[in-house]
Structure 1
Amino acid sequence: MTGRAYRAELLSVAHDPRDAGPEAVRHEPDGLLVIEDGIVIARGAYADLAPRYPGVPIETLPGLVVPGFIDAHVHYPQTDRIASHGEQLLDWLEKHIFPAEKAFVDKAHADAVAAFFLDELLRNGTTSALVFPTVHEQSVDALFEAALSRRMRIVSGKVLMDLGPEGLNDTLPSGRAESEALIRRWKGRGRLGYAVTPRFALASSDEQLADAGALLAEHPEVLMHTHLSENLHEIAAVAGRFPDSADYLDVYDRFGLVTPRSVFAHGVHLSERACMRLHDSGAGVAVCPSSNLFLGSSHFNFGQADRCSLRLGLGTDIGAGTSFSMLRTSGLAYQAALAREDRLDPFRALYLATAGSAALLHIEDRVGGLELGQEADFAVLDCAATPLLARRTHEADLATRLFALQILGDDRAIARTYVMGECAWKRTP
């Protein structure tokens, strides 16, 4: 046979330990990953598997191999506004973000930012993502073109916001027409997926929100991606505009936007009713601890989410988020949970950053677990990437090493990133 194999310490968490228990963790201290045409065809202990593939070249990878990280909520046009000072969400959008996003009317600018953004994901071990572009059709084209050339699994869709500021708004007809055109243009190409993307409830008219629901219903293969209950000032503004709705989620529900294919970013301040409705609908939440802290929005309530058995993933939410690193984001998720006296196990944090986000994006059959038949996207983690990490992890058990990587690690801990079994990024000495 043709193919390649990698010998390394392998770790993945394909199922939520909240539900599956310790058996969710799969670990081969001396493992072998066999890949053909970018797909995992065998995985197990090196001693058991190596004799079965005598003709396959084997490369030894120094480090801990985990599935490629999957960022469940991130804004590529906000890359150049990361670390913008001084405001909570609504004022931050007006002061820093909307002016920056207007520049994406220029395709060349969008191309340049998309290329940098995707390379930054790969440098941080992230191989798949659900990405907000801008209201401009060409911002989606730029992202998808760059992702196609890198063979990354990216889901995105034109932002809908007919109530946006001048230079950053569409209309009901143009929003529908451009969305339909993008779905036709990119459907079935590479590893790309589409998401109907109303920015948030305040950015669209009732008519556009209803049309977004209709568009979602007409295209059963696409996702719906938006924001929910992120910041108290935002929630108050939504309640003022929609006084007849039971809560923020109910606004989306009335327009047909709460479905099993719906991904809601944040969900920091959920009512019990909304939490149960999310569970009953099959929709899920992308938890974004870095941006929630940076914008003063509070901490996600893992205890409430677990009582409701919510589907969860993890997102960096660049540029309100302050790091592209899903390792760093996992560590912040632990701290956010502990602030509410909940404990996030390091293996569950890895699940949220990989297979959990994959399930949220409905791509769990393709990526997230390094299981047989899945695409061979993975990152090689270096437990000795910094002197402090090396000292903390020396002779430590697996859980301690993983937790140290999440708390002390960042892009420096990524030794290599592989996409479809091929090295897409390698740290230089």
Structure 2
Amino acid sequence: MTMTSLTASTAAARPSRLALRGDLLDFTGPPAWGGLDDPAVRFRPDHWLLIEDGRVAGVQAEAPDASWTCEDHRGRLILPGFIDTHVHCPQLDVIASYGTELLDWLNTYTFPAERRYADPAVARAGAERFLDALLAHGTTSAMVFPTVHKVAAETLFEAGRARGMRLLTGKVLMDRHAPDGLRDDVEQARRDCEDLISRFHGQDRLGYAVTVRFAPTSTPAQLAMAGALCRQDASLYMQTHVAENRAEVEWVAKLFPEARSYLDVYDRVGLLHERAVLAHGIWLDAQDRAVVAERGAQVAFCPSSNLFLGSGLFDWVAAREAGFTVSLASDVGGGTSLSTQRTLGDAYKVQALAGRRLTAWAGLHAATLGAAQGLGLSHEIGHFGVGTLADVCIWDWACGPVAEARFAVARELHEKVFAWMTLSDERNLAAAYVAGVARYRRPGAAPVPPHP
């Protein structure tokens, strides 16, 4: 546990009625691409967010009565907790590793780090460290890759449950092209998945994701088994990687010559469906994009990782035109930060290289309501609608003299929010709540003292 994290044993008890005051920002729908004044943006400055028994009970301008526990964060920005749709728990150990592209990076850094998670003590400590780090960066929900080891998924589920988080994960499937200690086999993997599904899927705020590492590390038999699991239970999620790197795409073409494309490898076995999340998708063609839309799947855009590993530039506009959801993902450890704002800053740069401009609205929507809708969870997370669980983060608008000076001269709302998105990071986070429970507080970031 870090100094600022509040785990299950140390988190403040949840008041039955909690009111948070600040500048509330969320979305009621998808913003148009490029629009700075958009009706889907819901901004309510200096309002009170009312939370009752862990759920949003309403929003009002006037101060609530004495039956509410009030926290006055006036002058701070209040957002729904961020949703990271693709991130690797064990790869905190290899974040910021120098010098290789995807396939070499996996063999040199990632696989050795993941092998250590066969040890239950390592897996447990890693899961707790990882989830506390997510919370300290303002991420309250995530779809996560553990490792091939069953215990790595178990400990991640248990740590997520202890923190009350919305967590989607599952044992990684890899039965070939991986080193000793990181391979499973089809039948044992199936039994492990079925046991984990029976124990964790749909329990508390946990969901099971059939987790195919990527096509090269699963035999056709294992891919077929994974597809069968998805067909047996339509409530299961599926996560994998697709078309991240050109060398990877070429390898897949040699391994699966019968498939039309990398994406088709998954489609043939039933892995593409409404709860499928495909990381990267840089090198998909127009036909692939049409298939993603038809199946109702989504792509997790990982701009920081794509830049760091030199994988390529994702075409967000083409994805929107095809009609499928694009959510935002840190992809740590290929990505270099768990901060959604830093990831969004890289997303802006990737799109700018193609002559497009990503607004703060489109970016933040993809990390909140858009991701929630893509995962089928907008009834629970991603916005401040009445009845949603109160996953809420409170942010300083500016930290440090540069950001403070920029904010002071910013004029209209988008300019202010875009400056915040570009210049802020986890240091701006004052507090993070999960279902109304404070799970993170920055030292010295107390609410405004009450007036005498």
- Interval of TM-score (by shorter of Structure 1 and Structure 2): over 0.9
Tell me which residue corresponds to 2:73: 61
How many Å separate the matches in 2 of 1:245 and 1:365?
37
Instruction: Please say if 1:221 is aligned against 2:235.
Output: yes
How many Å separate the matches in 1 of 2:299 and 2:231?
20
Contact 2:17–2:67 under 8 Å retained in 1: no
Contact 1:11–1:64 under 8 Å retained in 2: yes
- Deviation of the 1:406 alpha carbon: 1.8
Tell me which residue corresponds to 1:353: 367
Tell me which residue corresponds to 2:107: 94
How many Å separate the matches in 2 of 1:420 and 1:61?
18
How many Å separate the matches in 2 of 1:401 and 1:116?
33
Tell me which residue corresponds to 1:200: 214
Tell me which residue corresponds to 2:225: 211
How many Å separate the matches in 2 of 1:59 and 1:86?
47
Contact 1:13–1:348 under 8 Å retained in 2: no
Instruction: Please say if 1:322 is aligned against 2:336.
Output: yes
Instruction: Please say if 1:363 is aligned against 2:397.
Output: no
Q: Which deviates more, 399-408 or 324-333?
A: 399-408
- Deviation of the 1:146 alpha carbon: 1.1
- Deviation of the 1:22 alpha carbon: 1.4
Tell me which residue corresponds to 2:431: 416
Q: Find 2:88's aligned residue among 75, 81, 84.
A: 75
The amino acid that maps onto 1:207 is: A
- Deviation of the 1:426 alpha carbon: 1.1
- Deviation of the 1:57 alpha carbon: 3.0
Q: Which deviates more, 83-92 or 181-190?
A: 181-190
Aligned length, in residue pairs: 425
Q: Find 2:47's aligned residue among 2, 15, 31.
A: 31
Tell me which residue corresponds to 1:340: 354
- Deviation of the 1:269 alpha carbon: 1.2
In the alignment, structure 1 segments of 5+ residues that lack a partner are: none
The amino acid that maps onto 1:158 is: K
Tell me which residue corresponds to 2:291: 277
- Deviation of the 1:370 alpha carbon: 1.5
SS at match of 2:78: strand
- Deviation of the 1:2 alpha carbon: 4.7
Larger helix proportion of the pair: 1
Tell me which residue corresponds to 1:111: 124
Tell me which residue corresponds to 2:38: 22
Instruction: Please say if 1:149 is aligned against 2:162.
Output: yes
Contact 1:34–1:42 under 8 Å retained in 2: yes
Contact 1:125–1:379 under 8 Å retained in 2: yes
SS at match of 1:293: helix
The amino acid that maps onto 2:424 is: G
Contact 1:332–1:407 under 8 Å retained in 2: no
Instruction: Give the TM-score taking structure 2 as reference length.
Output: 0.91
- Deviation of the 1:343 alpha carbon: 1.5
SS at match of 1:117: helix
Instruction: Please say if 1:238 is aligned against 2:266.
Output: no
Change (3 A) 1:384 1:220: same
Instruction: Please say if 1:392 is aligned against 2:406.
Output: yes
Contact 2:339–2:426 under 8 Å retained in 1: yes
Tell me which residue corresponds to 2:278: 264
How many Å separate the matches in 1 of 2:77 and 2:414?
12
- Deviation of the 1:142 alpha carbon: 1.0
- Which structure 2 residues correspond to residues 173-192 of structure 1 after superposition, within 5 A? 173-192=187-206
- Deviation of the 1:312 alpha carbon: 1.0
Instruction: Please say if 1:286 is aligned against 2:300.
Output: yes
Instruction: Please say if 1:40 is aligned against 2:56.
Output: yes
Contact 1:130–1:361 under 8 Å retained in 2: no
- Deviation of the 1:148 alpha carbon: 1.2
- Deviation of the 1:188 alpha carbon: 3.2
Instruction: Give the TM-score taking structure 1 as reference length.
Output: 0.96
How many Å separate the matches in 2 of 1:387 and 1:321?
27
The amino acid that maps onto 2:156 is: L
How many Å separate the matches in 2 of 1:351 and 1:307?
17
Tell me which residue corresponds to 2:441: 426
Tell me which residue corresponds to 1:401: 416
How many Å separate the matches in 1 of 2:252 and 2:16?
57
- Deviation of the 1:229 alpha carbon: 0.6
- Deviation of the 1:56 alpha carbon: 2.2
SS at match of 1:197: strand
The amino acid that maps onto 1:113 is: G
Q: Which deviates more, 358-367 or 205-214?
A: 358-367
The amino acid that maps onto 1:407 is: T
Measured on the aligned residues, the alpha-carbon RMSD in Å equals 1.5
Change (3 A) 1:107 1:398: same
The amino acid that maps onto 1:274 is: D
- Deviation of the 1:386 alpha carbon: 2.0
SS at match of 1:389: helix
Q: Which deviates more, 243-252 or 317-326?
A: 243-252
SS at match of 2:131: helix
Tell me which residue corresponds to 2:145: 132
- Deviation of the 1:54 alpha carbon: 5.5
How many Å separate the matches in 1 of 2:349 and 2:78?
24
Change (3 A) 1:121 1:304: same
Tell me which residue corresponds to 2:11: none
- Runs of 4 or more, structure 1, over 6 Å off, are none
The amino acid that maps onto 1:342 is: R
User: Percent identity over the alignment?
Assistant: 44
Tell me which residue corresponds to 2:6: none
The amino acid that maps onto 1:290 is: S
Tell me which residue corresponds to 1:4: 18
SS at match of 1:73: strand
Contact 1:14–1:351 under 8 Å retained in 2: no
Contact 1:132–1:159 under 8 Å retained in 2: yes
How many Å separate the matches in 1 of 2:283 and 2:30?
23
In the alignment, structure 2 segments of 5+ residues that lack a partner are: 1-14, 445-452
- Deviation of the 1:74 alpha carbon: 0.1
- Deviation of the 1:58 alpha carbon: 2.3
How many Å separate the matches in 1 of 2:28 and 2:344?
16
Tell me which residue corresponds to 2:8: none
The amino acid that maps onto 1:381 is: W
